[in-house]
Structure 1
Amino acid sequence: MTDGTDQPPPDEPPRPPAGPPADRAVSPAGRAVSLAVQADPAVSPASQADPGGLPRGRWWRWFGLGLVAVLLLCGAPVAVLAAVGKLPGRSADAAPGPARSPRPGDPDEVVGAWLAERIRERLDRQAEALLRGDEAGFLAVSDPARPGAAQLRREFRSLRALRVVLWRPELRTGPTRVPDRPGEWRQPVTFQHCYAAPGCPPGGVTMVTRWAENGAQPRLVGIEPSVSADEGPRPWEVDDLVVAAGRRVVVATTADLRGRLSGLLAEADRAAAVADRYAVTGAPPDRYRIFLAGPPQWKRWYGGDLPEWTAGYAASVGGGGHEVVLNAKGLTDGAADELLRHEMTHAASLVGRDNVDKANWWLVEGIAEHAAAAGRPPRRYPGLPDVRRLLGSGWDGRLADLEPARDAAGWRVSGSYGIGYLAFRHLVDRYGESTARAFFTAVVRDGRSAEEAARKVFGEDWSALHDDCVAYLRSVTG
């Protein structure tokens, strides 16, 4: 376990929370269920996380949809490139060429075009410094007296701990002046990145940087965490991270929870062997990326704003990948195995955003709960009392109407996940697991309707098969 540096991370206050995120699947705090909607290996370990696990308890029964945030860990350093966007002072058809140096009285468009090139050059050099582990070079773009330097230091140490192997800054628009701050400019930057596995597909995160004019070397003076609906902020933007890597997973958390990493890592490595079977593309994720969030991080990472019953979620982060976040509150020692199997199955079975919607929520959660159950007989499913209660009241009998509301009661959430599990389990028992997975793939990955997928995969009419699934639910809970 390492925080990726040779020095302890600075004691800095966390950045304020960003806006609400999207593209997430949320899990109830009572069953390991959830719906996922939508780093250089040469890092020298700096510190070892204390051994230990998660305190024992029964809260796992209500772990619902915990989507464990797994870190994108990728392999060896790769070349850093800057994508050229449409910038001020250039037409979309113009041949690329250096912007001329601005003269007194030039319009902002001319100044901005020149400044964008200088910023791009500085960011490219900064990216190279990050990949070779040069903290001083990474910080060289900043004004050490301004808040941006502290933010960069946090990012450097956390990204190195995550073993970043790709960091590619892209300027898709040019800079604009900051009102009431003479000489300062705002520049949105998209950072394509991945961690700890060679050839890992990159994900992009867009942050707004602020720069001060400083001759030919503009200085970075501030960074705003990503706030777009489907991005962040990511954990490494706003917190110093402690990281542990296993055979197939990487887990990360903050320093105050470091003692829980070793136990979580061992459980996650075991869960990976189960989740791998549900990779719809045939190849499982390069690494499962899992973040353990304390109370402040739970409200901040990926925008927070989760239903009260949520125990975790899987966030789509681009490149077809997901990062899984677990709520440390109530997570007990040795009790995360089902939750991990559930959420890591989301990461394996959901490629990007896929075709997840209200109508197939039961199927997305059902396959994840099936993985979580790990072959346990349906009559030993712990949520059966809530399934029985939901069958007796509050549900119209249609699988397409099963998704619980944000303010749903705990039993309603648990019962919904249980029905999804039992319906999918019935398909497995009737047709075999590989055929049931093919139905999932046809609906969720390929975007076919349940009717079309049932005819194609099962050779059956979906309406009759749907009613058969519901009848099975009642027989199991009767």
Structure 2
Amino acid sequence: MLPTRGRLWPDRPDWSYPSPVTDGHDEPRLTDGVDESRPADGMDEPRAADGDGPRPGDGVDETRSRRRWPLWAALAVVLAMVGCGVPAALLAGLVDRTAERATVGRSATRTPDPATAVARRVGDQLSAQLARQADALLGGDRRGFLAVADPAARADLGRRFAALRALRVAVWRAEPSGLPIPVAGQAGQWRQLVTFRYCFLVPDCAPSPVLIGTRWRETGGAPLLVAVEESRSAQAGVRPWEVSDLVVAVGPRTMVATTPALRGKLPGLLAEAESAAAVADRYAVAGPPPDRYRIFYAGGAEWRRWYGGGRPKWTAGYAITVGGGHHEVVLNADGLTATATGELLRHELTHAASLPARGYPGKQTWWLVEGLAEYAGADGAPVSRYEGLDETGQLVAGGWNGRLDALTPADAAPADRVGGSYGVGYLAVRHLVDRYGEQQVLAFFRAVVHDRRSLDDASGQVLGDPWSALHDECVAYVRATVR
């Protein structure tokens, strides 16, 4: 049986779960050695020989304006020399030579080669088409959204349009990345990388970016969109609205989406999500809570595909960062029971409220991140009612080394080992809350997870006690509770 606990991904160095890699600006970049500037399979672009035109990755061959100060400087010198009585013949020679040098400098200014000029022209046309499509999407104009596309691409684009409108898309900006590249073997076709930035429901949110490849066909007029690739190379993987029909329910604090086959689950899920959001809001440690919690309820096929799939078998849900400071929560419909949904939602929404966009520091703090989410999931219930106590006792009695930083379960770990790890994290955080209070523990969490301070420093400065002693206290509390 799958446990009802969410899963982050601490085994990725300095990243807690799959997420778009950023350089501090929420801008998608390449990961895992995949070069987004290269086309998808079957669309390799030709590479020009050295000196024979633009190469992929060279960017725009910009013509730089050269300074024209030498001529003006010469004229200033001439005026000064006239004032000093210098013969006119000498002055004429000076001006002629200076003007000649300035003319040579201007003629040496580089101009774009023909291939780059064509790519720029096509790029301008694509930008205009993408802008028209964005306006149509935000205006609810399906016909206008599809008008920029080749007829063969309209079925897929129509599904995307419907999914994004169902999600209440409030911001949609298309920003071409670099120049388009000719598609090898397809005369008149071009591939253009585009960063799409989007918000749902809230028009003044910080948009989430996603980098997607698009293909276009020249027509003699405006180019037509012939294909939109999946955002397959970013760590966050493909978004649900890229590949699935969606139905959506919206509340004051949450948005819940699923496939039409699971439409009947939406009313109950939305009610549970709204209750969970009221709890999770209390754990926003570094600013206001999320503008809306985004929740996707995945059937079996969607669970294997959304956001790249590939989760451990015991995962019932996870939170994933998608840029712009936003997290999206995914629940596994096949791994949930009706009684566990509320606890799991409190757990995952607390991740969305409490974690920084860049993830948490790594395995040594897994217990703290998951322990806080489990504490929120328990929602004030007595420790004796925590459902993972038996699994925790098995782990403690079965050879756990007594180190909180050694709790992270492996992907292939059995369910009872996973449940025990979460239980130890919960009990450790519960002990800290009982001793210092929620607000102090949240300040400690912020210092460790957001500010990247060591446990030793954060414990001494925030809690006023050495971490070595507190660690041993937490472990003793865990052992005593499950004895």
How high is the TM-score relative to the length of structure 1?
A: 0.79
- Tell whether 2:258 aligns with 1:287: no
**Are 1:132 and 2:139 an aligned pair?**
yes
Which runs of 5 or more residues in structure 1 are unaligned?
1-27, 39-64, 68-85, 96-105
Matches within 5 A, 1:18-97: 29-35=2-8, 88-91=59-62
Q: Are 2:352 and 1:347 aligned?
A: yes
Partners of 2:114 and 2:63 in 1: CA distance? 19
How do 1:49-448 residues align onto structure 2 when only pairs under 5 Å count? 88-91=59-62, 107-144=114-151, 146=152, 148-448=153-453
The whole-number CA distance in structure 1 between the counterparts of 2:373 and 2:60 is: 51
Q: How many residues align?
A: 395
- 1:282 Cα deviation from its structure 2 partner: 3.3
Letter in 2 for 1:134: D
Hey, what's the Cα distance between the residues in 2 that align with 1:87 and 1:203? Answer: 27
Task: Kindly state the Cα deviation for residue 379 of structure 1 after the two structures are TM-superposed.
Answer: 2.2
**Cα deviation code 1:262-291 (max 9, x no counterpart):** 100000001111000000123111110000
Offset of residue 88 of structure 1: 4.5
Mapped to 2, the partners of 1:333 and 1:379 lie a distance apart of 21
Distance 2:63 2:358 in 1: 30
Change over 3 Å in CA distance of 1:443–1:94 after alignment to 2: farther
One-letter code of the match for 2:243?
V
Letter in 2 for 1:189: V
Question: Quick one: structure 1 residues 429 and 205, their matched pair in 2 at CA, closer, same or farther if it must change by over 3 Å?
Answer: same
CA distance in 2, matches of 1:93, 1:348: 47
Cα deviation, 1:96-127, whole Å, max 9, x if unaligned, reads xxxxxxxxxx7432221111111011101110
Pick closer, same or farther for the CA change 1:92–1:351 going to 2, 3 Å.
farther
| Residues 1:371 and 1:94: Cα distance change in structure 2 (over 3 Å) | farther
Letter in 2 for 1:293: A
**What is the Cα deviation at residue 230 of structure 1?**
2.2
CA RMSD of aligned residues (A): 2.1
Structure 2: tracts of 5 or more residues without a match:
19-56, 67-112
The structure with the largest helix share of the pair is: 2
Partner SS state of residue 365, structure 2: helix
Match of 2:109 in 1: none
Question: What is the distance in 2 between the residues matched to 1:461 and 1:449?
Answer: 12
Q: Partners in 2 of 1:124 and 1:296 — Cα distance? A: 33
Report the CA distance shift for 1:437/1:248 in structure 2 as closer, same or farther (over 3 A). same
Equivalents in 1 of 2:361, 2:314: separation in Å? 20
Residue 251 of structure 2 aligns with an amino acid whose one-letter code is G
Identity of aligned residues (%): 55
What is the CA–CA distance in structure 1 between the aligned matches of 2:339 and 2:305, rounded to whole Å?
26
- Say if 1:88 and 1:141 are closer, same or farther in 2 by CA, change over 3 A: farther
User: Quick check: 2:319–2:330 contact (8 Å CA) kept in 1?
Assistant: yes
Equivalent position of 1:53 in the other structure: none
Divergent runs of 4+, >4 A: 92-95
How far, CA to CA, are the matches of 1:255 and 1:307 in structure 2?
26
User: What is the distance in 2 between the residues matched to 1:66 and 1:410?
Assistant: 19
Partners of 2:9 and 2:17 within 8 A in 1: no
Residue 183 of structure 1 aligns to which amino acid in structure 2? G
Q: Counterpart of 1:328 in structure 2: which amino acid?
A: A
The 1:334/1:477 distance shift into structure 2, 3 A limit, reads: closer
Could you say which structure has the larger radius of gyration?
Answer: 2
- The letter of the residue matching 1:32 is R
| Larger RCO (CA under 8 A, 6+ residues apart) | 1
Could you list the per-position Cα deviations for residues 391-449 of structure 1 after superposition, in whole angstroms to 9, with x for gaps in the alignment? 12242211111110010011110000011110000000010011011111110011111
Question: Using a 3 Å threshold, how does the CA distance of structure 1 residues 328 and 31 change in structure 2: closer, same or farther?
Answer: closer
Query: Contact 2:315/2:335 (CA < 8 Å) preserved in 1?
Result: no
* Structure 1 residue 380, shift from structure 2 partner: 1.9
Secondary structure of 1:175 counterpart? strand
Confirm or deny: 8 A CA contact 2:316 2:331 kept in the other structure. Answer: yes
SS for the counterpart of 1:173 is strand
